[in-house]
Structure 1
Amino acid sequence: MIRISTNIALAEDEIEERFVQASGPGGQNVNKVASAVELRFALAASQSLPPDVKQRVTGLAGRRLNKDGVLVIRAERFRSQEQNREDAEKRLVMLIRQALTAPKKRRPTRPTRASKERRLKAKKARGSLKKERRGEW
Structure 2
Amino acid sequence: MLQITAAIRIPESELSERFIRSPGPGGQNVNKVATAVQLSFDVARSPSLPEDVRRRLNGLAGRRIDGDGVLTIEAHRFRTRERNREDARERLADLIRQAAHRPKPRIATRPTRGSKERRLASKKLRAQVKQTRSRRTTED
| Shared fold, TM over 0.5 | yes
Residues in 1 aligned to 2:30 and 2:136: alpha-carbon distance in whole angstroms = 78
Cα distance change of structure 1 residues 114 and 71 upon mapping to structure 2, 3 Å threshold: same
* Residue 72, structure 1, aligned to residue 111, structure 2: no
Q: CA deviation at 1:118?
A: 2.0
Cα distance change of structure 1 residues 109 and 36 upon mapping to structure 2, 3 Å threshold: same
Percent identity between the two aligned chains: 57
Secondary structure of the residue that 1:87 maps to in structure 2? helix
Please name the residue that 2:16 is paired with.
16
Residues in 2 aligned to 1:68 and 1:80: alpha-carbon distance in whole angstroms = 30
Residues in 1 aligned to 2:124 and 2:25: alpha-carbon distance in whole angstroms = 65
Residues in 2 aligned to 1:86 and 1:125: alpha-carbon distance in whole angstroms = 59
Please name the residue that 2:41 is paired with.
41
Q: CA deviation at 1:68?
A: 1.2
- Give the gaps of 5 or more residues in structure 2: none
Residues in 2 aligned to 1:39 and 1:67: alpha-carbon distance in whole angstroms = 17
Please name the residue that 1:92 is paired with.
92
Please name the residue that 2:122 is paired with.
122
Q: CA deviation at 1:57?
A: 0.5
Please name the residue that 1:56 is paired with.
56
Residues in 1 aligned to 2:61 and 2:9: alpha-carbon distance in whole angstroms = 19
Secondary structure of the residue that 1:13 maps to in structure 2? helix
Return 88-97 or 105-114, whichever deviates more: 105-114
Paired residues of 2:17 and 2:37 also in contact (CA < 8 A):
yes
Please name the residue that 1:110 is paired with.
110
Residues in 2 aligned to 1:136 and 1:18: alpha-carbon distance in whole angstroms = 78
CA-based RMSD of the aligned residues comes to 2.1
Q: CA deviation at 1:104?
A: 1.6
Paired residues of 2:41 and 2:70 also in contact (CA < 8 A):
yes
Residue identity matched to 2:93:
V
Secondary structure of the residue that 1:46 maps to in structure 2? coil
Residues in 2 aligned to 1:126 and 1:19: alpha-carbon distance in whole angstroms = 62
Q: CA deviation at 1:126?
A: 4.6
